[in-house]
Amino acid sequence: MIEPTLALYGDAFERVDRHLEELLAATGVRYCLLVDRKGFVLSHKEALWAPRPPALDSVATLVASNAAATAALANMLGERTFSEQIHQGEQGTLYVESVGDSALLTLIFDVSVPLGRVKVHTKKSIAQVALILEELADAPPVQFSDDFSSGANALLDDLFG
């Protein structure tokens, strides 16, 4: 195996989803994303009133890369990691906190939301989400049926000629 996989499904996915919903409601942030360390979005929620979200693929990639760079800096400075990142601009804030070693919780909000409130609620959610992700480590390995490869190859032929 190249990298521990995060196969999020069933009850675990629904519980993570619920925690993100609750976090969104409790904090008043615009967007809430659970991103894996490879930069893929595992789950995301947005407030009903929030404007059209930015490209979440790109946000997730940059957040994960930033977290990796921050962790490398932490190691150089003798820390195991820096668990949170805060980027504050004139209009809004990006807040990222580690969920164990496998994921990152990302919140995007505007100046009307106090950072302190976000931090308090995020830490609570992280404890709960981290437990769910730990459970996933014991999930059975993912199996695809034999014709997955032929289906994938047909797709590649269509797209790339």
Partner 1 sequence: MSTINFAAREINCKIVYYGPGMSGKTTNLKHVFSKVPAGLRGDMVSLATEDERTLFFDFLPLDLGTVQGFKTRFHLYTVPGQVFYNASRKLILRGVDGIVFVADSAPNRLRANAESMRNLRENLAEHGIDVRDVPIVLQVNKRDIDGALPTEMIRAVIDPKKELTLFEATAHNGGGVFETLKSVSKLVLDRLSQNK
The site for partner 1 (CB under 8 A) is made up of 1-10, 13-14, 17, 36-40, 42-43, 55, 57-58, 61-62, 65, 68-69, 72, 141-149, 151-153, 155-161
Q: Which is nearer to partner 1, 39 or 129 (CB)?
A: 39
Give the pair of three-digit tokens for residue 15: 């519980």
141-142-147-151 Cα dihedral, nearest 10 degrees: -150
Task: Report the nearest approach of partner 1 to the CB of residue 112 (Å).
Answer: 28
Rounded (5°) CA angle 70-54-133: 55
Closest CA to 33 of 4, 70, 62: 62
Minimum Å distance from CB 151 to partner 1?
5
- Element holding 65 (H helix, E strand): helix 56-76
What's the min distance (Å) between Cβ of 13 and partner 1?
Answer: 3
Pick the closer one to partner 1 by CB: 2 or 48. 2
Nearer to partner 1, 5 or 117 (CB): 5
Strand partners, 112: none
Output the smallest distance, CB 51 to partner 1, in A.
Answer: 17
